[in-house]
Structure 1
């Protein structure tokens, strides 16, 4: 059986979408003749934890843990709340940032390049060079973000002859949207570009999760690039009753930039025009929600319809999706985000409930939703058509006919995607 070392930062008990991708790949790789070995930090700083995911880790799996020096743990001494907020991905708009958060963002952006896990790179290269040679492992996969982990693969590639290195990008690097909030100076921006260029051109194989990212990277490298999206796990397909409310459910983080005011405005107008809706409407959020978004929802008179669950264990989040009347998928109104396909989209596909997606123009998500006939996609200017869709959905809900007949979702099962990955190893 061929062996592959997978270098990842996020692993159970980490919660959130970052851990799901490689947890599932590792689960299914042995079925395709590949033995995964996982390398993770011994003492990571996980802003979200989900102990239930530990149940999916096989007792037969070899896991290597090595200490990591976490700057976020040091920053907690100065501002615990700001550190937790930043490390979980919630960065408020510039005008709402406190002085301490502005300072922390500047330090993070300009002194820890490409990210706060850079201090783990050199110790990991030193340890893994010996480990790989001792155990005759000739295949390595790095997954980012954090993109500093790709520098571990780069270092190992330079030191070990005939090593095959695959770099997996769950998100873009230089063109990721939050770079604009990190207060990067010109030197830091240039350093990011140089590091990204070196990884893209030295890795033997690039994997990306979206079509737009593949297009972007093909302008920067001649190395082979494969799109392997995130997916859903068939073993999690539960039989759950639908909500009796007209429930619009969003699962995952709603950052301040993901604030579709057109949706809140449409719902406000709909409530004013249709008093019957007031008896049934629920806005159900599972995960972290930015205060900016909550303030916007309240400004449109929707506060009484909001239900906040916070982060739920993965299985409970799936139950919430399966019980939804409509599933909300929201992305920022930013062209850079057109190449982001949230991992929750694929679990939404498995839930087989109508998806109502609001995001940037020419969003990769639209291609998948249309291909699978699983819902409708709108941009931030589609107020009239969005309202019509909600009115239609509510009438179907009242008649007990709100449903979809999605197609071709099997290609996005975790097992199918792992088979695709196995051919690259």
Structure 2
């Protein structure tokens, strides 16, 4: 098949949001399909066209007060300000895609990307359109403007008009699938959990440990996630288990980096910074335990939980929320759970984990059938 992928987030940008579209593209290529990608930047080994975005990576500074221009952009650009990038990507896709696609794939967030899917399906007669939904649109919106009842009502109507012609929807979990079912009544729906690469060779940490690892961002991944509960729990755990080491790999906001420096446990915390995917997987594979943090109002844990489980290492939830029940909700406080970690000596047992080569075979077979 010939498949056109449009994604606002894609490597070499480093984020969980960039990882899944990249694995979609690579997996579909490895399944024998011809794939062309439109994204803000392009990675070697992927056929596509870069459409630059002024904010490819999120700014790490603490956000300042909104300007009149910011408010105007939020008010006038629907469903989100990234619709401007989507329009440029749409024009490039029409002009430079080297084939008429059998399938157009748009992956959100941002939800404005789906406007390109609708337009391109109309542009190429006979092409079909698939959506990959990584987050809720309106049920748990990250954009504060979508908290308004009026905005939600109007935007739900917009979503139904935008997605009415979609042929297939893949969602990372059932609640997101069920929300998109309301917007795309003519599509075939599938739950495709966050899929992961096979575990890498374990990272060799210095010192006896135990070594605790968290990969990915906090507030930059979800504006309702804070690093503070993890720092507080680790400080208390260190009193009980002085040899503990905490490793943080990923982009931090400036105030989060400062919070680490101000922590009484800073000498036992190592910041690895932004690392390639293979390094992140290696850090996970070498950990004695892995830390997952989510927003208190999140119904599900973040997608990195699948990567964590693929290692077979213990996973410890930190923070409040119903999402903890879907991890390993152990008894005792967060600090007590961290302090109880021992050097890992077991073997990987990735029960229930979806690996990307298996997932992409499933997707490729589904698209061929449709």
The offset of 1:321, in angstroms, is 2.0
Alignment of 1:10-49 (within 5 A): 10-41=9-40
Out of 296, 300, 304, the position equivalent to 2:267 is 304
1:390 aligns with 2:355: no
Q: TM-score, normalised by structure 1?
A: 0.72
Q: Is the 8 A contact 1:338 1:360 kept in 2?
A: no
> Cα distance 1:21–1:352, how it changes in 2: closer, same or farther (>3 A)?
same
Alignment match, 1:111: 76
Deviations 1:371-399 (A, max 9, x none): xxxxx236xxx7x3434433432xx33xx
1:333 aligns with 2:296: yes
Alignment match, 1:47: none
> Cα distance 1:90–1:258, how it changes in 2: closer, same or farther (>3 A)?
farther
Q: TM-score, normalised by structure 2?
A: 0.82
What SS does structure 2 have at the residue aligned with 1:318? helix
How far apart, CA to CA, are the structure 2 residues paired with 1:40 and 1:269?
A: 43
What SS does structure 2 have at the residue aligned with 1:422? helix
Deviations 1:198-219 (A, max 9, x none): 2343211111112221233334
Out of 408, 412, 420, the position equivalent to 2:351 is 408
Deviations 1:152-180 (A, max 9, x none): 01112234333210011122222344212
The offset of 1:266, in angstroms, is 4.1
What SS does structure 1 have at the residue aligned with 2:143? helix
Deviates more, 1:111-120 or 1:324-333: 111-120
How far apart, CA to CA, are the structure 2 residues paired with 1:313 and 1:207?
A: 26
Out of 311, 316, 323, the position equivalent to 1:351 is 311
The offset of 1:422, in angstroms, is 0.7
Alignment match, 2:225: 258
> Cα distance 1:239–1:294, how it changes in 2: closer, same or farther (>3 A)?
closer
1:63 aligns with 2:48: yes
How far apart, CA to CA, are the structure 1 residues paired with 2:78 and 2:61?
A: 18
How far apart, CA to CA, are the structure 1 residues paired with 2:364 and 2:311?
A: 27
Structure whose residues are more often helix by fraction: 1
1:421 aligns with 2:369: no
How far apart, CA to CA, are the structure 2 residues paired with 1:359 and 1:210?
A: 21
Alignment match, 1:168: 132
> Cα distance 1:354–1:229, how it changes in 2: closer, same or farther (>3 A)?
same
Out of 170, 173, 177, the position equivalent to 1:214 is 177
In structure 2, stretches of 5+ residues that fail to align are none
Q: Is the 8 A contact 1:285 1:309 kept in 2?
A: yes
Out of 311, 317, 327, the position equivalent to 2:280 is 317
How far apart, CA to CA, are the structure 2 residues paired with 1:184 and 1:104?
A: 20
Q: Is the 8 A contact 1:129 1:160 kept in 2?
A: no
Once superposed, what is the RMSD of the aligned Cα atoms? 3.4
The offset of 1:126, in angstroms, is 4.7
Q: Is the 8 A contact 2:131 2:169 kept in 1?
A: yes
How far apart, CA to CA, are the structure 2 residues paired with 1:306 and 1:239?
A: 19
Q: Is the 8 A contact 2:171 2:177 kept in 1?
A: yes
Q: Is the 8 A contact 2:107 2:114 kept in 1?
A: yes
